[in-house]
Structure 1
């Protein structure tokens, strides 16, 4: 094991606890002269005599006894510190502070955390749900999950998944606007419908999709909407859509159950939405802690991202 105490101090402790220079030399696998020299150097640097030695016995001076007690305590503390660090290298332990947007919680972050907790019971995760990108240093964040392209940053980012926004509406909304769910709706008609926007979209409410042509090539088309409301939570957008306030582009993994049950209707099933990358960001310049690496891997598995 590594040691935090100076080498000469460790040799001094061994001399005292072994009972002699010879025994300490055997314990440390050193020569007697090396052990003796280390003790002399320590006493010289301190300006005091620590041990009284004769041919048959040794004893600590008064100052030596004080010095030994303090060094013994320091050695015990340093050993405990190193053992705790070693534990962190073999198993995630202690606090793990994570932030993620609402859309990723139910089908991604929560299952990943549940698996991590069951596998590593000594970990203590704290999950902060926020659709805003919060400051990792100011809020002491170990890992941030974020959707969309990233600004320039000194933090490390790793792509862990892909999000596809599905343009949705409620059956009641379609009925109110005299649109049939199983009928292809023109892109011009789609753009005339009221749109519930997420605040991160900024001043313009747009939705980009890839239109599959007969030649199997993809042509990108951008739709422009007139927003009827702006919301800072994707869960709130889902609630408004189910109340027939308007249409919205929502993450596929968030609305898949509602689409399967018929509670929501996909408006453009024959078009492919353009994908958006999902990133895991951490502030560690080199290798992140084991807990951070473990939760990133679990999130990747939940998002089925290779």
Structure 2
């Protein structure tokens, strides 16, 4: 249709071919094929100029509208690729809120103010399709192979307690730790250990406070309920402002892999690619 529209505007096969980057014979052949498909003559041909028939004039009016609409649509798509906009739905663990995901989303919003982020922070694994999510950040082994998983990096966990708790119980050592109240998360109960080079220390205690989220475990530790093994990225700020102190700093908890999950079958949208790359850079720093 673009070829016919250009011929109608210029009144010449030669000028239309030059404008479109085709040969004159290719343009002429296309118009002849179009006339054959429609069963009506669109052009009156002469040696000097092409004139539209009444049917050609009617089609030219329609083709101009269609070409204009197509041009606008293409511009909108190109513009969106160049400047991402619209809904961006992400889920991530609670521990990744203030120290990781939210600051990166703020960066993207400053660069692309037409983005509409929808952030869901939960330690529950939400299904991408059910919840209409663009990206899910997940910690640990991925058992669901129906989604594509991009390795972002690793996080480590450390032992922490409040200054008041430490003052009340005295210096904490590998020998005294089992005698102290321990704050545990669901995946830690009964099998967690911390390691120092070749030495490992099982986290066992007769007094256990069970909490279902890392954020809750941090809050419990701040309030003096016990010693918690939590992601370092979650408690960095609390350690900096004195609400928590690291316990047995020579010992480290497990290193867990962090993935970005998506359901896109083709190339990722630009804004998702940008976020994934920035997450990778962030995880490359000490967490």
Q: TM-score, normalising length from structure 2? A: 0.86
Asked whether 1:249 is paired with 2:229, we answer yes
How many residues matched? Answer: 285
- Check conservation: 2:194, 2:200, Cα contact below 8 A: yes
Provide the rounded CA distance (Å) in 1 between the counterparts of 2:275 and 2:147.
17
Note the 1:194-233 alignment, pairs <5 A: 194-199=181-186, 201=187, 204-212=189-197, 218-224=198-204, 227-231=208-212, 233=213
CA contact (8 A) 2:152 2:280 kept: yes
1:50-61 aligned at under 5 Å gives the runs 50-61=42-53
**Which residue in 2 is equivalent to 1:106?**
98
4+ long deviations beyond 6 Å? none
Unaligned regions of 5+ residues in structure 2, if any? none
Q: 1:184 aligns with which of 173, 186, 190?
A: 173
Aligned to 1:16: 8
**Which residue matches 2:84?**
92
Are the counterparts in 2 of residues 207 and 249 from structure 1 also a CA contact under 8 Å?
A: no
Deviates more, 1:251-260 or 1:38-47: 251-260
DSSP-derived class of the 2:203 partner:
strand
- Deviation of 1:11 after TM superposition, in Å, equals 1.7
| Structure 1: runs of 5+ lacking an equivalent | 1-8, 213-217
Question: Could you tell me which of 36, 44, 60 is aligned with 1:68?
Answer: 60
On the 8 A contact 2:159/2:248 being kept in 1, the answer is yes
Aligned partners of 1:197 and 1:76: how far apart in 2? Answer: 63
Question: Take 2:241 and 2:27, find their aligned partners in 1: how far apart are those partners?
Answer: 78
What's the secondary structure of 1:272's corresponding residue?
Answer: coil
Worse-matched range after superposition: 55-64 or 96-105: 55-64
Superposition deviation, residue 55 in structure 1 = 4.2
**TM (normalized to structure 1)?**
0.81
Q: Is contact 1:112–1:302 with CA below 8 Å preserved after alignment?
A: no
Q: Shift of residue 247 of structure 1?
A: 2.9
Matches of 1:259 and 1:238, distance apart in 2: 11
Within 5 Å, which residues of 2 pair with 1:1-306? Answer: 9-175=1-167, 179-181=169-171, 183-186=172-175, 189-199=176-186, 201=187, 204-212=189-197, 218-224=198-204, 227-231=208-212, 233-305=213-285
Q: Paired residue for 1:3?
A: none
User: In structure 2, do the counterparts of structure 1 residues 235 and 274 end up closer, same or farther at CA, with 3 Å as the change threshold?
Assistant: closer
- Report if aligned partners of 2:158, 2:251 keep a CA contact under 8 Å in 1: no
Q: Is the 8 A contact 1:98 1:144 kept in 2?
A: yes
